[in-house]
């Protein structure tokens, strides 16, 4: 059987750094197949992806990835440790032998961090700072290892999830090249910019600024595809927050410490989504956590739904090598491989994916699940 390396991604949008990682992953793992486990229409920070999952998957296949499978909503729009765990489970299920990821410090000793992490999360019952900050300081004091860069944190999450599953995947961290994760400006000789900076230029309709930082196929995709942002969903969110009772809001996933009162009050006062975020923001709550809560309100996410275990493989796009890999694993994999969405699947497995994607469909009128099939590139 061919060997496969997995990459966990959002491709928001696919840029030169992603293309570099795919090539390095294939080389380091000696892999025949590169498989991306990609977030769907909403990403980890609680934002709508700038382009829908189909356009992003197609751009990835055109630029070096062989197979893109969807990371379900309940795995994608989560704090990093849950995001990582779900992604690693899918990588294992789809037949990956290895997992590769970008890291600011690829030589970081994950085994030491794993061995020294706290056993009980209630060691961090502090309300003046985010949980992640306190967790990272704890590890620094125990190990001397500074874990603060975004990709290092995700890398630790992947390593920890892999450890919990019995280390089924060999890990290949790749030194991150070019811009830092949250850089807002596009510059540098490597033509590798941050996704944030690329999105900023796209929002300004300045495609000339990004042409050296993305593959040609991504540039073409950007020029012809519908773009999403939170402002389009703000009226729906505001309505839900104002009209829902406090008791109903309290039932929403991760709605803790009375933040539902703050969300409701801020929705009444704010005239825009950015104003709303600034009204809600405190030292305790990061923008990412607030945005995730907002998505949970829109989609009506409850704990029993969001703590589901991955149980299916949903290919979004593949080339001939990706098709070959799917054919090799289809008789051995324990999970169904979903290529055509049915009403029964929506009811039992894909409900949150369907509901969250319908939000985008409402804005753009572009089908997201029903009548959509994997994109096949020759």
- Using the Cα atoms of residue 221, residue 226, residue 231 and residue 237 in order, give the sign of their dihedral: negative
The reply to whether 21 sits in an annotated binding site is yes
Q: How far is CA 304 from CA 74, 253, 301, in A?
A: 10, 9, 8
Separation CA 308–CA 151 (nearest Å): 25
Q: How far is CA 56 from CA 69, 70, 190, 295, 329, in A?
A: 11, 11, 23, 20, 24
The reply to whether 176 sits in an annotated binding site is yes
Q: Give the pair of three-digit tokens for residue 132.
A: 């992640």
The reply to whether 331 sits in an annotated binding site is no
The reply to whether 151 sits in an annotated binding site is yes
The reply to whether 378 sits in an annotated binding site is no
316 touches 305 (CB < 8 A): no
The reply to whether 19 sits in an annotated binding site is yes
315 touches 67 (CB < 8 A): yes
The reply to whether 20 sits in an annotated binding site is yes
The reply to whether 257 sits in an annotated binding site is no
The reply to whether 157 sits in an annotated binding site is no
Which residues 6+ apart lie within 8 Å of 249 measured at CB? Answer: 241, 255, 260, 263, 264, 297
The reply to whether 11 sits in an annotated binding site is yes
The reply to whether 24 sits in an annotated binding site is no
The reply to whether 78 sits in an annotated binding site is no
Binding residues: 8-21, 102, 151, 176
Binding residues for ATP: 8-21, 102, 151, 176
């Amino acid at each position: 059987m061919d060997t496969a390396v997995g990459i966990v991604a959002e491709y928001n949008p696919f840029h030169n750094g992603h293309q570099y990682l795919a090539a390095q992953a294939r080389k380091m793992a000696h892999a025949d197949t590169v498989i991306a486990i990609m977030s769907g229409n909403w990403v980890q920070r609680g934002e709508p992806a700038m382009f829908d999952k189909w356009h992003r998957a197609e751009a990835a296949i055109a630029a070096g990835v062989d197979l893109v499978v969807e990371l379900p909503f309940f795995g994608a729009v989560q704090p990093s440790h849950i995001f990582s765990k779900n992604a690693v489970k899918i990588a294992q299920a789809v037949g990956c032998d290895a997992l590769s990821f970008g890291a600011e410090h690829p030589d970081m000793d994950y085994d030491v961090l794993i061995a020294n992490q706290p056993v009980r999360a209630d060691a961090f019952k502090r309300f003046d700072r985010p949980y992640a900050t306190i967790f990272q300081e704890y590890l620094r004091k125990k190990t001397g290892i500074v874990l603060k860069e975004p990709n290092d944190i995700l890398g630790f999450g992947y390593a920890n999830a892999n450890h919990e599953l019995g280390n089924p995947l060999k890990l290949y961290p790749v030194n991150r090249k070019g811009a830092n994760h949250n850089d807002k400006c596009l510059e540098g000789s490597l033509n590798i910019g941050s996704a944030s900076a690329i999105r900023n230029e796209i929002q300004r309709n300045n495609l000339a600024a990004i042409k050296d930082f993305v593959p040609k196929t991504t540039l073409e995709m950007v020029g012809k595809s519908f773009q999403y942002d939170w402002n389009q969903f703000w009226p729906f969110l505001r309505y839900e927050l104002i009209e829902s009772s406090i008791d109903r809001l309290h039932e929403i996933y991760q709605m803790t410490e009375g933040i539902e009162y703050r969300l409701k009050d801020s929705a009444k006062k704010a005239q825009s989504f950015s104003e709303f975020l600034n009204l809600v923001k405190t030292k305790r709550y990061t923008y990412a956590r607030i945005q995730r809560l907002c998505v949970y309100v829109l989609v009506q996410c409850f704990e029993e739904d969001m703590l589901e275990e991955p149980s299916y493989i949903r290919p979004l796009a593949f080339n001939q090598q990706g098709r070959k890999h799917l054919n090799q694993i289809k008789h051995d994999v324990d999970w169904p491989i979903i290529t055509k969405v049915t009403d029964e699947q929506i009811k039992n497995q894909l409900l949150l994916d369907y509901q969250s994607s319908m939000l985008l469909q409402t804005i753009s009128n572009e089908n997201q699940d029903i009548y959509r099939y994997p994109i096949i590139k020759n």
